[in-house]
């Protein structure tokens, strides 16, 4: 007994196989398109989130800068007040004891002269 294959059946099977392959290709292309869309949405979300974080960091840095600047101004004002008080005390001491002040200045000048020779 010889078996013969029906050419119409073979063509139908081949056509069915091509249709399945075409459907699979179309399905893969749809999935790729969906993946590309999802990646674009993810990139957009990441851009927005990073922009928000940069803005938040900038705001925090400005607030810290302002606070440090106020603290620095406060310290400068305190140092100026202390220098003014020391200057006043020094002037009062010179007025009360002028000879002692002159002797001290001469002594300090002599010591500085000796140090500058070395």
pLDDT digits (tens, 9 = 90+) for 49-63: 888 888 899 999 999
pLDDT digits (tens, 9 = 90+) for 59-81: 999 999 999 999 999 999 999 99
- At 38, list the tokens: 């999802």
What is the CA 85 to chain-centroid distance, rounded? 43
pLDDT of 21: 80
CA distance 59 to 37: 33
Kindly state the percentage of the chain with pLDDT values over 70. Answer: 85
DSSP 8-state symbol, 4: -
Task: Give start and end residues of each alpha helix (H) in the chain.
Answer: 7-96, 98-117
Q: Name the pLDDT band for 113 (thresholds 50, 70, 90).
A: very high
CA distance 108 to 82: 23
**Taken in order 103, 91, 85, 70, is the CA torsion positive or negative?**
negative
């Amino acid at each position: 007994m010889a078996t013969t294959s029906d050419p119409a059946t073979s063509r139908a099977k081949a056509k069915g196989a091509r249709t399945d392959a075409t459907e699979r290709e179309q399905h893969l292309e749809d999935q790729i398109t969906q993946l590309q869309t999802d990646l674009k949405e993810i990139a957009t979300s990441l851009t927005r989130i990073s922009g928000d974080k940069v803005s938040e960091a900038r705001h925090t840095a400005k607030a810290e800068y302002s606070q440090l600047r106020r603290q620095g101004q406060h310290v400068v004002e305190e140092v100026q007040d202390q220098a003014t008080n020391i200057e006043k005390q020094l002037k009062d001491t010179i007025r009360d004891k002028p000879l002692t002040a002159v002797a001290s200045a001469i002594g300090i000048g002599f010591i500085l002269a000796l140090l500058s020779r070395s």
